Amino acid sequence: MAEKNLNSTWKYLIDNYSEWQLVTVGSFIIHEIVFFGSGLPYLLMEIAGFRKYKIQEKVNTRAAQAKCVLRLLFYHTCVNLPLMGVTYPIFKYMGFTSKLPLPSWKVVCFQIISYFILEDFIFYWGHRMLHTKWLYKHVHSIHHEYATPFGLTSEYAHPAEILFLGFATIFGPAITGPHLLTLWLWISLRVLETVEAHCGYDFPWSISRFLPWYGGADFHDYHHRLLYTKSGNYASTFTYMDWIFGTDKGYWKLKALKEDMDPTSSLQGVNGENAVTYGCVESKGCTSQ
């Protein structure tokens, strides 16, 4: 029944909208729904003063929160949407399709897993480059204005960095020409992952507690708290790239130190201050209070 409903819904879409409309406007709408739908709850939790499971005790000012939302709306409309439009010819050239029949779930799962691995590799090296002195000062420092991240800050960045992030995300689909269904699922899962990594909360049910090599909020929150030359933890989704190249050593040393000082607390701690004492001491762009 579910498969039949999905096929009928898909037939309606491809009969009433052009493939270009579905790839550009359709992908944009899905991105916005997933991004704000998953990111706004974390912002509301911070505004409401929900501290349990929060990694850092510090919170962002109302002005900083509003600035993030307004700039995101502008960047999404003026950068993300056009980017989705110009990549369509590349997708099409590589065999992209939106027609029925829909791909099998085995194909969809294999492609999405491959995209995660490929994106993580590209993102790791690009992110390390963004932490070189010149690129950090002129580009990446915008993203690090938020030393205490919340979900929506995941896409708060310089337009040049947005283009880079977009490249890392679409590279896999661009070279494989997937079905539109696969593309939409990939966009949704990638957005959910990056929002969760920036959410600022480490819940008992966080994926990082159950999935080996998955980074998550605690792993990436450390990256935002420290000065650009010392941060480490550069990968987007997984932790193995940082482990292989030794860029996660500071995180694990600090985590071990916290556990030695107080066995009941850690960087994956539950109540703010015990989880983090450094806050934004070394971050130039801290907007927390």
Q: Is the pLDDT of residue 281 over 90?
A: no
Q: How far apart are CA 223 and CA 86, in angstroms?
A: 32
Q: How far apart are CA 21 and CA 27, in angstroms?
A: 9
Our CA dihedral for 79, 82, 84, 90, rounded to 10 degrees, sits at -120
Q: How far apart are CA 90 and CA 271, in angstroms?
A: 47
pLDDT value at residue 262 = 66
pLDDT value at residue 161 = 95
pLDDT value at residue 229 = 66
Q: What is the pLDDT of residues 63-117, one digit of tens each?
A: 999 999 999 999 999 999 999 999 999 999 999 999 999 999 999 999 999 999 9
Q: What is the pLDDT of residues 7-46, one digit of tens each?
A: 999 999 999 999 999 999 999 999 999 999 999 999 999 9
For 153: left if phi > 0, alpha if psi spans -120 to 50, otherwise beta; the answer is alpha
Q: What is the pLDDT of residues 102-157, one digit of tens each?
A: 999 999 999 999 999 999 999 999 999 999 999 999 999 999 999 999 999 999 99
Q: What confidence tier does 288 reach under pLDDT thresholds 50, 70, 90?
A: very low
Global pTM reads: 0.89
One-letter amino acid at 77 equals T
Could you tell me which of 166, 165, 238, 158 has the C-alpha nearest to residue 197?
A: 238
Burial of 177 (0-12, 13-18, 19+ CB in 10 A): middle
Evaluate the omega torsion of the peptide bond into residue 101 and state whether it is cis, within 30 degrees of 0.
yes
User: What's the alpha-carbon Rg for the chain, to the nearest Å?
Assistant: 20
Q: What is the pLDDT of residues 52-61, one digit of tens each?
A: 999 999 999 9
Q: How far apart are CA 199 and CA 220, in angstroms?
A: 10
Q: Is the pLDDT of residue 284 over 90?
A: no
274 HSE (CA, 13 A, CB side):
16
